[in-house]
Amino acid sequence: MSPAVFGHGHLRLYLLSVLDDRPMHGYEIIQALKDRFGGTYVPSAGTIYPRLAKLEAEGLVTKESDGRKTVYALTDAGRAELNDRRDELDDIENGIGDSVRRLADEVRASVSDAMSTLRAELAAAARESRDDRNHVVNEARDAARTAGATATSAASAAGAAATDAVRDAVHDAAASMHSSPTESRSDARAQLQRAEVLLAEFRQDVRTDLRSAVARGSLASSTIDDLESRLSRLRADIGGLL
């Protein structure tokens, strides 16, 4: 969600409030904000770190290296500003409930729209599949009528041989109906939809992992190089199967 859930200067004050609980590194700050908003608002590293840098420049927070992590803590000046603006912070806290409810409503609406679209697409696919099956049945029925007429004409001249021809024609028409390529196309479309869902879930999971790595400051270029190489090999493998 957008940081517009905070008014001008409010995120700055809210960061001071979060750090008033205890010193934290950047990822912990992001998680603390996520928890306070019930998961409906997760600030990006690009939103949080520039504001922390500005607070440090103003002498309101300090940062210290703790191994691979950078830990931020309130200074006396930061705690003094926080105490001076407690009333304003209380107003922000009261407004958070409204923000959470609004964001939750937006999420529910987005999910509802996505489900409606999916239902419409599935219904259209079902209608198309049903129309294809009806077309195949009609073709088979026409073929059977034609074969029957031919057999009847031949029966007047060949008797039993014509009867065998009718049986063969009807059998061929039924076999044609059950082995129609249209059913194969319908199955292929269903598999395509399944593949698209899997790819969307994979993309979302990888994107979340990468953002978490960025927030922790642990995303190396070698990781992306390895990801690119593996995706290229996977694409080549899939191309070889098709």
Q: What does the pLDDT look like over 109-133, one tens digit per residue?
A: 776 777 778 778 877 777 776 776 7
Q: Where would I find the beta strands (DSSP E) of 67-109?
A: 69-74
Question: Is there a contact between 34 and 42 (Cβ–Cβ < 8 Å)?
Answer: yes
pLDDT digits (tens, 9 = 90+) for 36-47: 877 777 888 898
- C-alpha distances out from residue 29 to 41, 124, 162, Å: 13, 46, 86
User: Phi and psi at residue 58, in whole multiples of 5°?
Assistant: -85, 0
Q: What is the pTM of this model?
A: 0.40
Q: Give residue for tokens 């009847």.
A: 152
Query: For the chain, which ranges sit under pLDDT 50?
Result: 1-3, 151, 154-155, 158-159, 161-163, 165-166, 169-170, 173-174, 177, 179
Tokens of 3: 């940081």
Long-range contacts of 127-130, Cβ-Cβ distance < 8 Å, separation of 24 or more = 128/186, 129/186, 129/189
Helices 181-216 and 45-57 pack at an angle, to 10 degrees, of: 10
Sheet with 61-66: list strands edge to edge.
24-25, 69-74, 61-66
Calpha distance 101→90 (Å, rounded): 18
What CA–CA distances, in Å, run from 7 to 110, 135, 151? 24, 61, 85
- Does residue 18 contact residue 78 with C-beta atoms inside 8 Å? no
Nearest to 89 by CA among 7, 14, 30, 29: 14
